[in-house]
């Protein structure tokens, strides 16, 4: 827990490295450790509130002590037997720590005096924007973000079918069902060890939230087309797009992080997809963009964002707030990335802007500002772009939330380029580079 708090990397990356250095830990113990860690992360604000109430420092050890009392209802004596200083046990309790356990005995994790933001584990920087976004549904949406995310898989149609994979899951003794909206999606109704799923190793399926699958589907890439995934990361949506194209045409997976692209390339090979090229960019104004203006049929721009939609999957992310650089600066970066990526779209081509955020500033407001600045593009209503998607909270754009759709929170807007930039505007933008 101390490493998760002190290291800038996401919790899953820290945990993965921690387990690699301790290969002697068995699968059962690993599962219990993970369950405890993510339980602590999902109760971060409430545990901190209790510690502050009793004048205690908010440290990982104190949080654990509070958790064992408030959530697991262990007595001070029971906890003292766990904290016995043995080889693999925590250090013995101090008198001060024992006194805390006595004060917390008989209490539960919730308390009537807790502010709503604490009770719902909503960081202060996001509370007002999310209240504006959801209104009376704010409490329900925040509560849904506290539940663990389900395990969603996307079948790779190059290698298998959803029916075959559902049968394979049944043969493994796993309960699974077809996803409600994504045509290649499977939802696993339990929490198996990923190592027990051979179809992950063979590239027949990929782990991908159903909402993310739907964003990739909106790109609507066709065999033989030229497509860019502008902020590809490790390539989850790139894989879905390339599979849409049946391995025909050309997909360019771009990112500014070389490590992500290398991981993506490994996944592409495992999935049997060879119509993908990786491209490392120096930034949103890389010269490669200028050289390929108007050269692509489809461009997906899944921009860096606050990640509010992923909090149930990444509970540590809500406490890694964008306050350090400021939400305004993040929104400004998104606007620059979108404007730059839009230059790659040819007339008649499709531009898809996406986030895993639920903040209007990063979603609808961002799209409205772009369309006002770039009249060559028009918004394509969701009813036209994907009429089968009727569960969206927004009529014009894809808008998914955990409480409404049981997916991660996602936003996507489909736009089409109707014409070219005027020569004056294009010249001005080229000189600015």
The average pLDDT across 329-357 equals: 96
Query: pLDDT for 165-190, tens place per residue?
Result: 999 999 999 999 999 999 999 999 99
Other C-beta atoms closer than 10 Å to the C-beta of 164 total: 13
Cα separation of 182 and 11, whole Å?
28
- pLDDT, tens digit (0-9, with 9 covering 90-100), for 344-357: 999 999 999 999 99
Q: What is the CATH number of domain 210-432?
A: 3.40.50.150
Given pLDDT bands bounded at 50, 70 and 90, which one contains residue 426?
A: very low
The residue ranges of every structural domain in the chain are: 2-122, 210-432
Q: Which two tokens stand for residue 188?
A: 């696993």
For residue 429, the model assigns a pLDDT of 45
**Rounded mean pLDDT of the chain?**
92
pLDDT for position 113:
97
Asked whether the predicted pLDDT for residue 422 surpasses 60, the reply is no
Task: For 46-90, write each residue's pLDDT tens digit.
Answer: 999 999 999 999 999 999 999 999 999 999 999 999 999 998 889
* Structure confidence by residue, pLDDT tens digits, 279-315: 999 999 999 999 999 999 999 999 999 999 999 999 9
**Structure confidence by residue, pLDDT tens digits, 127-142:** 999 999 999 999 999 9
Distance between CA 213 and CA 194 in Å, rounded? 20
- Separation of alpha carbons 191 and 419, rounded Å: 49
pLDDT interval class at 27 (50, 70, 90): confident
Other CB atoms closer than 10 Å to residue 136's CB: what's the count? 7
Percent of the chain with pLDDT over 70: 94
Tens digits of residue pLDDT in 12-24: 778 788 888 888 8
Burial code (b: 16+ CB inside 10 Å, e: under 16) for 307-340 equals: bbbbbbbbbbbbebbbeeeebeebbeebbebbbb
Q: Which residues are catalytic?
A: 356
| Across 1-10, 100-109, 289-298, 398-407, least confident range | 1-10
Residue 193 has a pLDDT of 85
pLDDT at 37 over 70: yes
Top pLDDT among 125 and 393 is at 125
Q: pLDDT value at position 405?
A: 94
Between CA 300 and CA 278 the distance in angstroms is 14
pLDDT of residue 126: 92
How many residues in total does the chain contain? Answer: 433
Instruction: Tell me how far apart the alpha carbons of residues 333 and 287 are, in angstroms, rounded to a whole number.
Output: 18
Phi, psi (deg, nearest 5) at residue 387: -60, -20
Q: What is the DSSP letter of 92?
A: P
Residue 420 has pLDDT above 80, yes or no: no
């Amino acid at each position: 827990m101390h490493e998760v708090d002190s290291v800038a990397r996401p919790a899953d990356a820290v945990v993965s490295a921690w387990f690699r250095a301790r290969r002697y830990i068995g699968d059962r113990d690993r599962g219990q450790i993970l369950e405890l860690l993510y339980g602590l992360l999902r109760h971060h604000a409430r545990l901190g509130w209790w510690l502050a109430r009793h004048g205690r420092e908010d440290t990982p050890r104190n949080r654990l002590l509070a958790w064992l009392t408030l959530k697991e209802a262990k007595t001070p004596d029971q906890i003292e037997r766990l904290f016995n200083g043995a080889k693999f046990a925590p250090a013995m309790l101090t008198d001060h720590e024992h006194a805390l356990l006595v004060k917390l005995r008989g209490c539960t994790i919730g308390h009537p005096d807790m502010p709503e933001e604490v009770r719902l584990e909503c960081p202060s920087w996001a509370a007002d924007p999310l209240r504006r976004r959801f209104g009376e549904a704010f409490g329900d949406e925040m509560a849904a973000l506290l539940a663990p995310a389900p395990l969603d898989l996307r079948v790779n149609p190059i290698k298998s079918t959803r029916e075959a994979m559902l049968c394979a899951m049944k043969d493994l003794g796993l309960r699974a069902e077809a996803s409600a909206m994504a045509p290649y999606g499977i939802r696993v109704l339990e929490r198996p060890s990923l190592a027990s799923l051979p179809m992950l190793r063979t590239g027949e399926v990929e782990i991908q939230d159903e909402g993310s699958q739907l964003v990739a589907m909106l790109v609507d890439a066709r065999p033989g087309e030229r497509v860019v995934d502008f902020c590809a990361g490790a390539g989850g949506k790139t894989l879905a797009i390339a599979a849409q194209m049946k391995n025909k045409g050309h997909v360019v997976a771009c990112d500014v992080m070389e490590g992500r692209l290398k991981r993506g390339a490994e996944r592409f090979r495992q999935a049997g997809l060879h119509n993908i090229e990786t491209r490392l960019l120096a930034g949103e104004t890389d010269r490669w963009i200028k050289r390929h203006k108007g050269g692509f049929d489809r461009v997906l721009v899944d921009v860096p964002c606050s990640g509010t939609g992923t909090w149930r999957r990444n509970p540590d992310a809500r406490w890694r707030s964008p306050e350090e650089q400021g939400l305004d600066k993040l929104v400004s970066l998104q606007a620059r990335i979108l404007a730059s990526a839009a230059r790659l779209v040819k007339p008649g081509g499709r531009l898809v802007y996406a986030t895993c955020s639920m903040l209007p500033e990063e979603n609808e407001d961002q799209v409205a500002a772009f369309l006002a600045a770039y009249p060559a593009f028009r918004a394509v209503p969701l009813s036209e772009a994907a009429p089968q998607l009727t569960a969206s909270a927004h009529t014009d754009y894809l808008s998914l939330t955990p409480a409404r759709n049981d997916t991660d929170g996602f936003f996507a807007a489909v736009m089409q380029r109707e014409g070219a930039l005027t020569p004056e505007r294009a010249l001005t933008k080229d000189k600015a580079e």
